[in-house]
Amino acid sequence: MNFKDMRVLLTTLNSKYVHSNLALKYLYTVTAGEYRNIEVREFTINNDPNYIYTELVRANYNMVCFSCYIWNIEQIKLLAADLKKACPDTLIVLGGPEVSFTGAKFMQENPWADFIICGEGEYSFYRFCEVMNEPERPFDTVPGLIYRQSGKIYVNEQIEPMDFNLIPFPYSMLDCEEDKVVYYESSRGCPFGCTYCLSSTEKQVRSLKTDRVKADLGYFLYKRVMQVKFIDRTFNYNKERAYEIFKYLIDNDNGVTNFHFEICAELLDNRTLELLKTARKGLFQMEIGIQSANPPTLMAIGRNENVYPLLYNTERLIALGNIHTHVDLIAGLPYESYEIFKRSFDKVYSLHADALQLGFLKVLAGTPIEAQTLQHGIIYREHAPYEVIATDYISASELARLKMIENMLDIFRNRGGFTHTVEYLIEELELGAFGFYESLADYYYEVGFQNRERKKDDQYRILLSFAKHAAAERNLPRLEERTLARLMRDAEETMNPENLKRFLHKGWEIE
């Protein structure tokens, strides 16, 4: 069958419905002008597997191309294997970071996989389509391709990363979905070498010209999309360039669109902070990966061991009051014990960012830390997302305890609605921020509240129940009464009048 007569699908399983896959959009954009037979369709990991399977089988595709990441690889493996059994003639093509670094091994272990495209896919996928369209061209002319031939697996060399400016705007042929986050990148690569990050494998930064970025962003502003999330690893690696783009967005603000950036706070200067102060509240979100406040840990993972400029500039950014700020910590890093992590947590919590994400080290194939697992005694899960189980510095039970604390942090802080109560309890119990969430987690799990899904109303009641327990345990007779007053204040600020009325009518007893 001629390639142009084949039905070709570009697909993936996103982690949430509001997410979308930028890689598929790039592949579609570089090929759709010549090949009209290529479709894009995205699913999520929360879709019923039978639904996805049925959709793929009934569509009778001749080739299905999956974009593979740590959050979807295990489900894609099951789905693709079943698809191959149902439709033996359907070609299965894989790409993405989860198959780029161990592609030959993956092909050996998964005989249903016909092709893997490693590394950046735009040029390789275009060449692959050319070869499929002209069978006299050999597969060994496609850079980064892994393929089977006569019972053997062949691995082609990858080419050097191409000039990013040659890759077309990924939304030039596909609409921005109104109900999804729009992903965008203005640069590839990262100047830093964090050992746990795949971007550390490419230290060169390739950025789009600033005029091109402004034109692309102008399209999003014209379309009045909900949110544009930059996936640049360090957006402000070049301070002048970042300043110019921030200023363009402030000057052309449409009053609707929000822009999310991952930045390095050490690189913020007075001029940039003064500019950001003038932004509409809600225009920008900044994500800052602090990861640890322990100098030996920072040195071990390839970051600046002096964390104080980072903490200071993060605090200054938060103090502006008009930019939603998200900070990250990673548990399970080298030289960080449970007690040392506790100190990092308290330092970062004291910044009072809008969100504090407690994440866990993931040992990704191709990263420097993968080669350092023996050095640090890192044990990690065999299957994606390859999360740390234990290290020489922190035990499995301690990391499980941090999982419990992560859950409390997410429920009672990051989701919002408990600000006055949590601040009061942290101060009154004199445990510090980490100690408070640790004590709350112990109570929450000991009683068994984690054993079923809880609505937000229940969490108000649970927090009061915890205060009652802490009052008895620590001989603080007025703690329950004062906690109730603050919970009422939080509820009044969070719930609409009708919901508040129903909540109070039901009372404070937990089901």
- Confidence category of residue 200, pLDDT binned at 50, 70, 90: low
| Interval 371-394 mean pLDDT | 96
Q: Tens of pLDDT along 262-271?
A: 999 999 999 9
pLDDT of residue 50: 97
- Confidence category of residue 51, pLDDT binned at 50, 70, 90: very high
Backbone phi, psi, residue 94, to 5°: -125, 150
Mean pLDDT of the chain: 95
pLDDT surpasses 80 at 511: no
pLDDT surpasses 90 at 332: yes
The DSSP result for 96-156, as a single string, is SHHHHSSHHHHHHH-TT--EEE-S--HHHHHHHHHHHHSTTS-GGGSTTEEEEETTEEEEP
pLDDT of residue 58: 97
pLDDT surpasses 70 at 10: yes
- Confidence category of residue 31, pLDDT binned at 50, 70, 90: very high
pLDDT surpasses 70 at 293: yes
pLDDT of residue 23: 96
pLDDT of residue 1: 75
Q: Tens of pLDDT along 456-496?
A: 999 999 999 999 999 999 999 899 999 999 999 999 999 99
pLDDT surpasses 90 at 209: yes
pLDDT surpasses 90 at 386: yes
- Is residue 18 within 8 Å of 179, Cβ to Cβ? yes
Lowest mean pLDDT among 98-102, 272-276, 346-350: 98-102
Q: Tens of pLDDT along 421-446?
A: 999 999 999 999 999 999 999 999 99
| Interval 30-37 mean pLDDT | 92
SS (H, E, C) 190-226: CCCCCCCCHHHHCCCCEECCHHHHHHHHHHHHHHCCC
Query: What percentage of the chain has pLDDT greater than the value 70?
Result: 99
- Confidence category of residue 510, pLDDT binned at 50, 70, 90: confident
pLDDT surpasses 80 at 99: yes
pLDDT of residue 27: 97
Query: Can you tell me whether residue 487 is helix, strand or coil?
Result: helix
pLDDT surpasses 90 at 184: yes
pLDDT of residue 174: 87
Hey, what are 261's tokens?
Answer: 């950036």
| Interval 207-218 mean pLDDT | 97
| Angle in degrees, CA 124, 228, 192, rounded to 5 | 60
- Give 390-393 contacts, CB < 8 A, sequence gap 24+: 391/332, 391/334, 393/334, 393/335, 393/336, 393/337, 393/340
Give CA separation, 210 vs 245, 248, 261, 269, 346, in Å. 7, 10, 16, 20, 39
- Which helix or strand (DSSP H or E) is residue 318 part of? helix 308-319
Q: Tens of pLDDT along 213-243?
A: 999 999 999 999 999 999 999 999 999 999 9
Query: What percentage of the chain has pLDDT greater than the value 90?
Result: 89
Q: Tens of pLDDT along 149-160?
A: 988 999 999 988
pLDDT surpasses 80 at 202: no
